[in-house]
Chain A
């Protein structure tokens, strides 16, 4: 079957028909040949038997009368039967009575006597016939014949040859017939196949098989046509569905795009509202801190005055409430920053021991007031220095230790550390703060880290606080990958444990302001301080503090005033508020740092700001300020900062600076003279050009400053720069360069106006001397 399936249908048909035909012809021919052969043999046997019978009856008498000659004569009659080669009559004892042998044939002696009256058998090409002779039922003898069958064999071969010829011719004929007849079956099938292949190749479902008729192939053809028609319909439906689908996808995509746009808009709104919220918080803190600063400052000053006990109690109430309010504001700010994800943890080297010690120092006086012992136990296995955010660690510790002291009436607060794990690279560090305080009721333990939650409503009344402290602590610990837990028994005490991971380091911590905060060097040295502050309340507060410290204080109401004052007089220190009218703290600082005078230029500046954020502090330092104090400030803290700043650089050296403004000429014509090559007219022309053109340029610059047109500012400043530099007025040339830069970076217009004023002033100063120069040259 495998062989048949691989050949084409028309060959298959030919092969089938040919096979059938050949098989039939071969079978027929062979049957006929065999039947013919058998018939010939039977005929031969019959005829030979008849001959034997005739001989038998003709030799009865000769046998009876023993006449062998007559018997022989009878046998010689067989000469006419050419196929009989030998004949004998043998008597009952087997003796030969008479024998006949054809000429050229071998003599043969018959010895076999069969039991039957008539018997024949063949051996090879010979037929033997025996016939018993009877007379009156008496057996007289037997006639024996030997017949040669080779002529029948020859005839068989002849017929077989004929049969082969017939098979060959028949096969050939069958092949041609099959070749022509198979077309009636194969052609329609092949046509159908071709149509199918065309459909398959082209994918054109409109093609049809054209075969007409009523046989099975026609039915197949019709079925195929119907099927392909259905497919065509399906195809059509499918493509329609596809189109619809595409359309729907487009619609959906459009919807998605629209939704996306809406989402983006919503996101923008959300972000904007977040920014607004942040700004609101920042300005709120400023707005609240400024008066609070004043309240606390004056309260402190008030405490120093002569007060009767009642008044003192009131003042202390103000102190308590005010400080509490400050804590609340700071906490809210911290929390909002944490929630905004704006909290950035620094990584720097620090000493755990130092941190704990400094925190304890801060709260020690409170513990002493309540007569509570503070014990510190540091794990000896703990490394000297660790990497992490020391400020946040301080905050956490301060909060927890502060709480412990706050809620403990008697007994002690013990602080201990433990190294849980040391991988060599980092350590797992556990801090425990244990107190003997009021404890936390079990049902409240889970809630204490929730915001605005305290052990009981009484707690707030009695101890103050917002309930934000622990929330912030938990957030700070968890944001740094740590974990905080609390164990507590009401009336016995509480233990707060927090575990954090720190990198190990051998690096020593860099000198830090906060670090030395605790080490107060009570210097009685007096400094002259310039305060830039617009709010009179704050001015008065600082004034009082400075008076107490016996510092000399000058007050500037804004940045511009401060600059003017600094130009007129030397100071040791500037306290700079950030938000001020006309020129703010940043701009003023920049202007100061751009000053020519080395001493004035490097004067220590401490920012005093209500913008209580890290980025704000960073900006202050980047702009050139030396330290940063957040409002409302603690007088002691401010003093510590001042002391530190002064110690760091020591008492500012009295640098001997040449008074350049007096010794140095206003202008320098060397450059011009060099290039004039002795041409006085040229020099005069250049100076005249300067005198005439600069006012014009200045007017244009001024108007563009008024219009806040930064592009024009830059252009006019640039046009002027060459004029000044040519006449060797380098200081002013530098100022113009600054204007260009400021305009480029779109700095506040007031700053540029300040520069403009300087340039104008410079022009007015040099105008008359230059005119005199021209007269001289003439």
Chain B
């Protein structure tokens, strides 16, 4: 119920960091509803793996989510990696804001994430190869989309999702 209320009142202004990451976790869950993984990697997997690069306050709300929800009828598995090379299978990767662009670039070279949806939260991350990047506008969580990144990772986003994006980069 907590999560539903949160989702339902997602248009409420963000006041704290906890609220911010709760909302970002919810967004990440909702994104799965509007994107398709075109390769079979998701279908073959037994769990939906969400990877977090380094430390982030998002882990806690993500864990809450994983306890309550399923994505594509699969249990959600949250794993924190300090190095992308350690990642075995990943369907969604969250890059927190403190990760440096070099780190991002190097991490994105990892073959295990070539079919994952990359979500970041630092302005300019989109240019580094992120597919969806969170922004905060007027205390509201917004996002922008890089279609190239989506295409490269064989992920198709629905028009509804794209309609909500602040910017769409080709």
Contacts and interface: CB of A to CB of B under 8 A. Distances in A.
A136 B12 contact: no
A93 B33 contact: no
B8 A61 contact: no
A66 B10 contact: yes
B114 interface: no
B3 to A, nearest CB: 10
Given A70-B163, A91-B9, A97-B11, A64 B4 contact: no
A66 B140 contact: yes
B16 interface: no
Nearest to A61: B160
Nearest to A57: B160
Nearest to A93: B8
Contacts of B136: none
Interface in B4-33: 4-5, 7-12, 23, 27, 30, 33
Nearest to B23: A66
A64 B163 contact: no
B34 interface: yes
B67 interface: no
Contacts of A140: 8
A293 B163 CA distance: 185
A65 B33 contact: no
B12 A66 contact: yes
A66 B27 CA distance: 10
B164 A62 contact: yes
Nearest to A97: B11
A141 interface: yes
Interface string A45-78: 0000000000000101111111110100000000
A136 B33 contact: yes
Nearest to A65: B164
Interface in A12-71: 58, 60-68, 70
Nearest to A64: B30
A676 B146 CA distance: 202
Given A66-B10, A70-B164, A61 B34 contact: yes
Interface string A131-144: 00001101011000
Contacts of B23: 66
B110 interface: no
A92 interface: yes
Contact of A141 (B8, B141, B158, B164): B8
A65 B9 contact: no
B11 A64 contact: no
Contacts of B163: 61, 70
Contacts of B11: 66-68, 97
Interface string B33-44: 110000000000
Given A66-B140, A136-B33, A61 B9 contact: no
A60 B160 contact: yes
Contacts of B128: none
Contacts of B45: none
Instruction: Determine which residue in B7, B8, B12, B27 has the highest number of CB atoms from chain A within 10 A of its CB, and name it.
Output: B8
A138 B160 CA distance: 18
A138 B3 CA distance: 11
B80 to A, nearest CB: 25
Contacts of B9: 66, 91, 93, 95
Contacts of B158: 61
A664 B4 CA distance: 193
Interface in A91-134: 91-93, 95, 97
Nearest to B26: A64
Interface residue range, chain B: 20 to 34
Interface string B42-62: 000000000000000000000
B33 A64 contact: yes
A63 B8 contact: yes
Contacts of A62: 164
Contacts of B10: 64-66
A346 to B, nearest CB: 155
Contacts of B5: 93
A420 B46 CA distance: 162
A135 B163 CA distance: 18
Nearest to B161: A61
Contacts of A141: 8
A61 B164 CA distance: 8
A138 B4 contact: yes
A557 to B, nearest CB: 186
Contacts of B30: 64-65
A41 to B, nearest CB: 33
A295 B38 CA distance: 195
Contact of A92 (B8, B140, B164): B8
A472 B115 CA distance: 177
A138 B4 CA distance: 8
Contacts of A91: 8-9
Contacts of A67: 11, 164
Contacts of A135: 33
B7 to A, nearest CB: 6
Nearest to B6: A66
A319 to B, nearest CB: 179
Contacts of B141: 65-66
Interface in B117-170: 140-141, 158, 160-161, 163-164
A141 B161 CA distance: 18
Nearest to B71: A136
A92 B141 CA distance: 21
Contacts of B33: 64, 135-136
A135 B10 CA distance: 15
A321 B5 CA distance: 177
Interface string A544-572: 00000000000000000000000000000
Pick the 4 closest A-B CB pairs, nearest first: A66-B10, A66-B11, A61-B160, A64-B30
27 contacts: A60-B160, A61-B160, A61-B161, A61-B164, A63-B8, A64-B7, A64-B10, A64-B30, A64-B33, A65-B27, A65-B30, A65-B141, A65-B164, A66-B9, A66-B11, A66-B12, A66-B23, A66-B141, A70-B163, A91-B9, A92-B4, A93-B5, A95-B9, A97-B11, A135-B33, A136-B33, A141-B8
Given A61-B160, A92-B4, A93-B9, 6 more contacts: A64-B33, A65-B30, A66-B10, A66-B23, A92-B8, A141-B8
